[in-house]
């Protein structure tokens, strides 16, 4: 997991891509929406092979539009379902064997790992994952701690034209 150098999204898988001659680590969403060239796929190193060329194997990942994505309003779905069952955040955390802080963060909109979201889905009997959008859209909130990304610079440049 890393940070997309194009859009700035944290905790996403990234692939090395080429954009106007520059090599950047981009998330699959940016690669797909901008039709970027992928230079490097995930690699797996085998320990029992002797030559360097034989040690690296390349695995490709099919980036399809039918993959499940986390719903944009996952946090409100969690809160509404929890309240409808009459549970406090502490009750939900105990039932799932999670820290109270993790549940509170999820309800505040901080996206936890997919495994935690699946636990929440099961505990509350709700759906937090949706089919991938045909044209990915997302709103970008720029916190003060995040630096300027290539995508931000490109947006500013295009806005001036």
Can you give the pLDDT at residue 85?
93
Handedness of CA 33, 38, 40, 43 (dihedral sign): positive
The residue written with tokens 């009459």 in the block is 86
Q: Which of 37, 35, 33 is nearest to 24 (CA)?
A: 37
Q: What is the pLDDT along the chain (161 residues), one digit of tens a residue?
A: 778 888 888 888 888 888 877 888 888 888 888 888 888 765 444 444 444 444 444 444 544 445 778 888 889 999 999 999 999 999 999 988 889 999 999 999 888 888 889 999 999 999 988 876 545 555 555 555 567 788 888 888 888 77
Spans of all domains in the chain: 1-63, 68-131
Quote the CA–CA distance of 71 and 114 in Å, as a whole number.
12
Can you give the pLDDT at residue 47?
45
Can you give the pLDDT at residue 70?
85
Q: Which of 160, 143, 158, 151 is nearest to 33 (CA)?
A: 151
150 touches 6 (CB < 8 A): yes
Can you give the pLDDT at residue 143?
56
CATH: 1.10.10.10, 3.40.50.2300, 3.30.540.10, 1.10.260.40. Which one for 68-131?
A: 1.10.260.40
Can you give the pLDDT at residue 5?
84
Handedness of CA 108, 115, 47, 55 (dihedral sign): negative
């Amino acid at each position: 997991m890393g940070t997309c150098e194009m859009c700035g999204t944290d905790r996403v898988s990234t692939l090395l891509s080429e954009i106007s001659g520059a090599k950047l680590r981009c998330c699959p969403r940016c690669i797909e929406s901008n039709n970027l060239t992928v230079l490097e796929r995930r690699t797996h190193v085998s320990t029992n092979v002797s030559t360097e060329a034989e040690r690296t194997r390349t695995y490709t990942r099919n980036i399809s539009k039918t993959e499940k994505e986390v719903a944009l309003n996952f946090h409100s779905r969690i809160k509404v379902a929890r309240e409808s069952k009459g549970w406090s955040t502490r009750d939900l955390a105990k039932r799932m064997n999670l820290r109270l802080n993790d549940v509170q963060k999820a309800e505040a909109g901080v996206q936890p790992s997919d495994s935690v979201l699946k636990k929440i889905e099961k505990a509350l009997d709700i759906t937090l994952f949706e089919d991938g959008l045909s044209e990915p859209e997302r709103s970008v909130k720029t916190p003060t701690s995040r630096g300027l990304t290539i995508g931000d610079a490109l947006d500013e440049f295009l806005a001036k034209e």
